[in-house]
Structure 1
Amino acid sequence: MTAATAHDPQGDPADVLLEGFHALETPEGFRAELIEGEIVVTPPPTGNHESNIASVVRQIIKRSAIDFDFSGNKGLLLDRGGLCPKNHLIPDGVFAPVGAYADEPGWMPVDKVLLVMEVTSSGADRDRKSKRYCYARGGVPLYLLIDRELEAVTLLGEPGGHADLIDYRLEIRVPFGKSLDLPEPFALTLETAEFK
């Protein structure tokens, strides 16, 4: 593992985990995230996965009344309860106000984020549960989940609750082929017919 682990086997497990995560070297195209105390490495996505992301980005850029910045590779730093290290997530898509990414570190806080998007792949349950709660606890206003297994799109909003029970209070799910209204600041109807 790391030098700190070798010299201090009694070291703080959260510090050891975080140090190991930051020292991790992944093959080209793979991404590593720290989700609820677990290091998760995912392979490069398939074409259909990326096609769904492209469809959402294209629709928001064309139909929204205001401009947004988009990133498909932005690391987000989210609080986690207890003594565990902060969550380090890289969503499939992040929408933020124009200029929000300027001068931000590789792992930025989520206070400027307007919407995160995930498209399910091998870790569908992680997208449906763990990441959902991470984004809600972080206060991300909107979470758009394109679930290829269920062939449905879910919009989650209004994060809230108390203590360890923070979740999204708004949940709207439509099957592929049905439209989904995105609220302000997007204020547009998302078409899902081409999702796969």
Structure 2
Amino acid sequence: MTVAQSEMTLEEFEAFDAAAPEGYHVELISGRLLVTPAPDGDHSEAARVIARQIIAERPDLWLYEERGLAVPAYRAGRIRADGAVARDGYFKGQPSWADPSGVLLVLEVTSGREQDADVDRVDKRDAYAQAGLPVYLLVDRHRGEAAVHWEPEGGRYLHVAKAAFGTKLALPEPFGFDLDTSELA
């Protein structure tokens, strides 16, 4: 469910977030309030597959699931990323909506509903690029592919690579390894 809101302040958002029913995620992206149900099991399994590979290749990093990030975009934003990869311990002492400057990769997995997928494909991608997050990885369950976007400049990612589930996807530095997508199929 998406609720359009053009003039929501951060204070109004925080009050709405605090009052949201358990099991729902509330986000503020480019001035729009987004309310979505908590992820399903397949969504969580996709994040686990990615996390395991990243940690195996880069044991100094950790994938923090369901991490709230203060992502400045068109207006001040608050995004609950499916995964935020940062150095182990980066989020210690940070508030619920953390500073994303130490995040090396942000992960989103499309929800079980196709009509919600463009939030991950477009809105979140653009917000992450505008915030200068170096790598954005999208697991698109509806298209059966993973896409990696990197090198943000001028509010857009300069590069994108895609791989169908069951094949390998080369992740850019600082990762520099091939992500195996076979378990995502």
Structure 2 match to 1:30 = 24
Structure 1 match to 2:12 = 20
Q: Which of residues 165, 173, 182 is equivalent to 1:184?
A: 173
Structure 1 match to 2:109 = 119
Q: Kindly provide the amino acid, as one letter, of the partner of residue 98 in structure 1.
A: D
Q: Kindly provide the amino acid, as one letter, of the partner of residue 14 in structure 2.
A: H
Q: Does structure 2 conserve the Cα–Cα contact (< 8 Å) formed by 1:110 and 1:139? A: no
Q: Which of residues 84, 87, 94 is equivalent to 1:97?
A: 87
User: 5 Å matches for 1:29-68?
Assistant: 29-64=23-58, 66-68=59-61
Question: 2: CA distance between counterparts of 1:127 and 1:52?
Answer: 15
Deviation of 1:186 (Å) = 1.9
Structure 1 match to 2:142 = 149
Q: Kindly provide the amino acid, as one letter, of the partner of residue 180 in structure 1.
A: L
| Displaced runs of 4 or more, over 6 A | none
**More divergent stretch after superposition (37-46 vs 149-158):** 37-46
Deviation of 1:117 (Å) = 0.3
Structure 2 match to 1:106 = 96
Aligned residue pairs, count: 175
Q: Kindly provide the amino acid, as one letter, of the partner of residue 26 in structure 2.
A: A
Structure label with greater radius of gyration: 1
Q: SS at 1:183's partner residue?
A: coil
Q: TM-score, normalised by structure 1?
A: 0.84
Provide, for residues 31-75 of structure 1, a one-character-per-residue CA deviation record: whole Å limited to 9, x for no partner. Answer: 1100111111111211111111110011111233x4112211211
Provide, for residues 88-113 of structure 1, a one-character-per-residue CA deviation record: whole Å limited to 9, x for no partner. Answer: 00110000012211111111121100
Q: Kindly provide the amino acid, as one letter, of the partner of residue 78 in structure 1.
A: V
Q: Does structure 1 conserve the Cα–Cα contact (< 8 Å) formed by 2:51 and 2:62? A: no
Structure 2 match to 1:168 = 157
User: 5 Å matches for 1:64-75?
Assistant: 64=58, 66-75=59-68
Question: 2: CA distance between counterparts of 1:78 and 1:59?
Answer: 26
2:81 matched to 1:87?
Answer: no
Q: Does structure 2 conserve the Cα–Cα contact (< 8 Å) formed by 1:151 and 1:175? A: yes
Q: TM-score, normalised by structure 2?
A: 0.89
Which is richer in strand?
A: 2
Q: Does structure 1 conserve the Cα–Cα contact (< 8 Å) formed by 2:55 and 2:62? A: no
RMSD: 1.4
Q: Kindly provide the amino acid, as one letter, of the partner of residue 56 in structure 1.
A: I
Q: Does structure 2 conserve the Cα–Cα contact (< 8 Å) formed by 1:177 and 1:193? A: yes
* Structure 2: runs of 5+ lacking an equivalent: 1-5
Question: 1: CA distance between counterparts of 2:73 and 2:149?
Answer: 19
